[in-house]
Amino acid sequence: MLSIAGTDPSGGAGVQADLKTFSALGAYGMTVITALVAQTTTGVTGIHEVPAAFVAEQLDTLLTDVPADAVKIGMLGDAELIKVVAGAIDTYRPPYVVLDPVMVAKSGDRLLPADAVAELRRTLLPRADLITPNLPEAADLLGEEPAASLAEMHAQAGRLRALGARQVLLKGGHLNGDTSVDVLATPEGTIELSAPRVHTRNTHGTGCTLSSAIAALRPRHDDWAGAVRAAKDYLTGALRAADGLRVGHGHGPVHHFHAIW
């Protein structure tokens, strides 16, 4: 499994979370770093972008030696990086590509400049097998207000597929209620996937964790719905155990290894 993403020194999000998730689910993890991020559970203080040419060198050096069974794409800081990753997908043709359109950190810090959103929409969405936006990210991609109901989520998921994504998992965690409902839109139709809402402030890296879990599990399932259900079950367990970690003073991480220790 390959994660193409930025770092998180606190270990809760980014490539660190992706590697933990891959390992917890029995997958061999690899990484290509797109940005070095000064980040904790309380916020982002700085981002040092890796030059696009060096990201391309990382991808070419790795993938000519070790093919990836699935690729998870996270933080991409600018349009040039987006073009480089799209080119690598075209060249190496990984079986499954999961795109988590990381735009805003849990703390509210913007991670993807507004002028790169159009490039993401134009270049990467059509190359992704599954995209996993939350409600604000979906609204950003569509140029609309965030969905405020399940009916609006269904409609927005359909419009995101119309932009070129083959499958869309629109995450409903920003809505209220005791149940968190996501909408999965595929060529066969749209289904709702529910999980009990876990009441914890330790939600740092949930998007990274879910998307990397889907990437790790997709090769073992017959379809996307099965992989997503299994990934949601894993994330629910990680959230339930999160309060036991006591990491940081802000939004702490989920417990990626909840089934192990």
C-alpha radius of gyration, the chain, whole number: 17
Residue 132 annotated as catalytic: no
Query: Mean pLDDT across the stretch 242-253?
Result: 94
Residue 74 annotated as catalytic: no
Better-predicted residue by pLDDT, 170 or 108: 170
Query: Alpha helix (H) ranges present in 25-109?
Result: 52-63, 79-92
Tens digit of pLDDT for each residue in 111-136? Answer: 677 788 889 999 999 999 999 999 99
Q: Which one of 41, 132, 203, 209 is the catalytic residue? A: 203
What's the predicted TM-score (pTM) here? 0.95
What is residue 109's predicted lDDT score, i.e. its pLDDT? Answer: 57
Which fold, 2-244?
A: UDP-N-acetylmuramoyl-L-alanine:D-glutamate ligase (3.40.1190)
Residue 190 annotated as catalytic: no
- Distance CA(158)–CA(149), nearest Å, equals 14
Share of the chain above pLDDT 90, in %: 86
Residue 203 annotated as catalytic: yes
Q: Which one of 21, 31, 132, 206 is the catalytic residue? A: 206
- Is 37 in contact with 106 (CB distance < 8 Å)? no
pLDDT band at 107 (very low <50, low <70, confident <90, very high): low
Q: Which one of 20, 72, 106, 171 is the catalytic residue? A: 171
Q: Which one of 6, 11, 207, 252 is the catalytic residue? A: 207
Q: Where are the domains of the chain?
A: 2-244
Residue 208 annotated as catalytic: yes
Residue 236 annotated as catalytic: no
Tens digit of pLDDT for each residue in 181-207? Answer: 999 999 999 999 998 889 899 999 999
Query: Mean pLDDT across the stretch 135-147?
Result: 91
